[in-house]
Amino acid sequence: MTRRLQLRLYRSPVGLYLTVHGSLDADTAQEFGDAVGLALDRCDAGRLTVDLADVDAVDIAGIAMLTLCRATALRRGITLSLTAARVSVRDAIHTARADALLAPAAAPAEPVAGQPRSSRGRYVRAGIRCLRQPAPPRRAAPGSPRSVP
């Protein structure tokens, strides 16, 4: 049996701060998601920090909810960052290949002149790793117009 999830929401000058106590698993993920949704509705500073210092354990359902919450926040123009995760929680996130959750969240910002653009029209931020490995460069087939210098 999992420990009941306890959540507390604070307002600070830089945004909202949500503390989480208990286990973030299949039994509590929906409750956590509802709380984050409420916090995002009330967030007027553009930043929500989720403190995971007192999270005992996290499973794949909890990691999926964290990923969903971050994506929802970014769509709303709000930066959601996770802080103070225990080693066991960081290891579970790493095992699920969701390391981007632990990286500092990129603030949704206006484009900067001279910043490189990706092929999808979004701006690429240097130093943040993508979950997917970059594809190797394609080689032109022999005899094609590209192979001639």
- Is the per-residue pLDDT at 2 higher than 50? no
Specify if 112 maps to a domain.
no
Closest CA to 101 of 83, 126, 77, 123: 83
Specify if 138 maps to a domain.
no
Instruction: Give residue 9's identity as a one-letter amino acid code.
Output: L
Specify if 128 maps to a domain.
no
Beta bridge pairs of residue 81: 49
Number of compact structural domains in the chain: 1
Rounded CA separation 118/99 (Å): 21
Specify if 21 maps to a domain.
yes
At 97-130, the pLDDT tens digits run 998 898 876 555 444 444 444 444 443 344 344 4
- Domain extent, residue 60, equals 1-106
Residue 55: which residues within 8 A CB-CB, separation 6 or more? 20, 21, 22, 23, 24, 85, 86, 89
Q: What is the CATH number of the domain that holds 41?
A: 3.30.750.24
Specify if 118 maps to a domain.
no
In this predicted model, which residue has the larger pLDDT, 144 or 37? Answer: 37
Specify if 73 maps to a domain.
yes
Specify if 135 maps to a domain.
no
pLDDT band at 146 (very low <50, low <70, confident <90, very high): low
pTM over cut 0.75:
no
